[in-house]
Amino acid sequence: MDEKRKELNSLINRMYRQLGKQVYNDLEKDHLSISSYKKLVDKIRSNINAIHLLDITLDHESEDEALDDLSYGDESLIPVMNDDGVYEYRFCPACQAGNHPDAIYCIRCKVKM
């Protein structure tokens, strides 16, 4: 997976250079092409998200043994109510599940918070 991450980083760097070159050339011609910039930015964002998912997968795989030892009792499922009477949650970055504010791992997907 480390090789895949390097490949994606290299691709993102090439796309950044391409975007910069494209903007520079268009500014010299006094003609901006926002739609083509947007397409390239969307591709860059997609690859950044792919790297983020790889990182989550690596974290998850390296902590599988630690997760096996954890017990998720009823306490981790009970939300905390603040002074205003509103329940507080900590949302998982991977699956968006609501967790106890002090949760270390997601109760749904077990990703480290």
Say what the pLDDT of residue 47 is: 83
User: What does each of the 113 residues of the chain score in pLDDT, given as a tens digit?
Assistant: 678 878 888 888 999 999 999 999 999 999 888 888 998 888 888 888 888 777 766 665 555 544 444 444 433 455 667 787 777 888 888 888 888 888 888 888 888 88
- Rounded Cα gap, residues 98 and 4, in angstroms: 31
Q: Do 94 and 111 meet the contact criterion of CB atoms below 8 Å apart?
A: yes
Cross-strand pairs, 91: 98
Q: Return all residues near 76 (Cβ < 8 A) that are at least 6 apart.
A: 99, 100, 103, 107
Say what the pLDDT of residue 19 is: 92
Give the global pTM. 0.48
Q: Do 40 and 15 meet the contact criterion of CB atoms below 8 Å apart?
A: yes
